[in-house]
Amino acid sequence: MAGVGLSATDAPRVAVWRDVRILRGALQVGFVVGVVALGVWLVSNLTTNLDRLGIRSDFEFLGAPAGFRILGSDFEASGTIREALIVGITNSIRVAVIGMILALLLGIVVGVARLSQNWLIARVASGFVELLRNVPPLVLVIVFYQVTLEVLPRIQDAAVSNGFLFSNRGVWIPWVTLGEGSRTYLAVLLAGLAAAIVVARARRARFERTGEPARAGLLATATFLVVAGVGWLVLDPPITPSLPVLDGRLVEGGASLYPEYLSLLLAMVLYTASFIAEIVRGSIQAVPKGQTEAADALGLSPGQRLRQVTLPQALRIAAPATGNEFLNLTKNVSLGVAVGYAELLRVAQTATGNGQPAPQSLSLVLLGYLTLSIIISLVVNVANRRLQLVER
């Protein structure tokens, strides 16, 4: 048993090809050399091919005029490719953010409904989940798109109800027109919000000092409403509602949701909500039974038990998995390309079709979506860390 490396002086006796430190170093150097060689080979192939085909390999095309228009935005054909791509990523973000909010709300409602005491509600909720999550999201996007195109009436005979207008050119919803004082009014609203926070803090401090009921939420809301109301009266209605009105083949007022946008958003929301619902259900079931029993023992009503005991704990469990679904949703926004929604990939595809170099355009798309993914996972991680219980 002599010679086993027990002391430092024995170390040199180990043969070089069996020395763990040297082996580890050699393996890592070999790995790096392999990866770098592969990368160099790929890049040299790329440049050779691009040169051979006469395709530019720089990013100067970004400053060139785009030569195409983008549906649903002010972008004109004279704008540059760079501006077009920015419109594209803005459109991606718009669907992603609105989709996340709606999918989260719907997912929580359906997830809670799946555990309802009422058999029918529970069955309808689980039917919703099973129906949607087993269909490819692209099928959903296309189904909703075709339904808008084929089932909704033509624009001339659009159906109007309660300020909504339905046609196969899109759906118009009631919206607002911003008047002259709208910027000032925004400042007034922010001031009201600040005042409300001050009031709430003061009330809570008072509660901790004296033990009198705080009613912080009530008083803070009242403060905000008073400031908002006074500002409204003084500023000569800064915001007026605007309803869509049909005029021949044109629609005045309201806000339009194009079929492409509508079908993509709807598919994203429903598909993601079905996954979030499952996560929420699992998380609620994962809350220890003692918690519900304790809530019952305190005499909380079923609604209070859900809102104040079960859900807050369940959402803490659900946070990481929900963050994953948000990432999936963001990446799935690129499915909009199938119905012609002008998200980032679609814009790049159009540019490529107009003769712009594909390698650079697609790299920018990948970069854009990777950046969005990273931002979302950072936000989710921060939120997650703040939600987790701090133990000892």
Partner 1 sequence: MAAAIDAPAAVPPVRPRDPVVWLRRNLFSSWPSAVATLVLAPAVAITLFRFVRFLVVDARWEIVRVNLALYLIGPFPRDQVGRLWIALAVLAVALGAGAGAIAATARETAEAAGRPLNAGWGERIRRAGPPVLLVVGILAFASGVEPVLLTVGALGLGAAAAAVTQRLSPRGRRAVPALTVLGIGASLAIISRFGGVPATDWGGLLITMFYTIGALLLAFPIGILFALGRRSTLPVVRWGCTAYVEFFRGSPLITLLFVGWLILPFFLPPDFPTPGLVTRALIIFVFFTSAYVAEIVRGGLQAVGRGQREAAQALGLTPWKQTRLVILPQALRAVIPGLVGQAISLFKDTTLVLIIGQSDLLAVSRSVTKQDQFLGQGYIVESLTFVAIVYWVISYWMSRESQRLEARLGVGTR
Per CB under 8 A, residues contacting partner 1 are: 24, 27-28, 31-32, 35, 42, 45-46, 48-50, 52, 117-121, 124, 130-131, 134-139, 142-143, 146, 150, 327, 331-335, 337-338, 345, 349, 352, 358-359, 362, 365-366, 369-370, 373-374
With b for 16 or more beta-carbon neighbours within 10 A and e for fewer, the 190-216 pattern comes to eebeeebeebbeebeeeeeeeeeebeb
Q: Compute φ and ψ for 70, nearest 5 degrees.
A: -120, 125
Q: What is the dihedral of CA 29, 32, 34, 37, to 10 degrees?
A: -120
Tokens 């650079």 -> residue:
360
CB 138 within 8 A of CB 132: no
Residue 42 or 298 having the CB closest to partner 1: 42
Residue 234 or 375 having the CB closest to partner 1: 375
How far apart are alpha carbons 102 and 98 in whole angstroms? 6
Residue 258 or 278 having the CB closest to partner 1: 278
Residue 116 or 308 having the CB closest to partner 1: 116
Closest distance to partner 1 from the beta carbon of 294 (Å): 22
CB 278 within 8 A of CB 134: no
Closest distance to partner 1 from the beta carbon of 18 (Å): 13
Residue 80 or 349 having the CB closest to partner 1: 349
DSSP code per residue over 200-259: HHHHHHHHHHH-----HHHHHHHHHHHHHHHHHHHTS-SEEEE--EEETTEEESSEEE-H
Q: Which helix H or strand E contains 278, and what residues bound it?
A: helix 259-286
Closest distance to partner 1 from the beta carbon of 123 (Å): 8
How far apart are alpha carbons 141 and 106 in whole angstroms? 18
Closest distance to partner 1 from the beta carbon of 138 (Å): 4
Closest distance to partner 1 from the beta carbon of 225 (Å): 29
Residue 221 or 371 having the CB closest to partner 1: 371
How far apart are alpha carbons 237 and 328 in whole angstroms? 42
Q: Which residues contact 119 (CB under 8 A, 6 or more apart)?
A: none
Closest distance to partner 1 from the beta carbon of 322 (Å): 17
Residue 138 or 245 having the CB closest to partner 1: 138
Closest distance to partner 1 from the beta carbon of 29 (Å): 8
Q: Which helix H or strand E contains 150, and what residues bound it?
A: helix 137-151
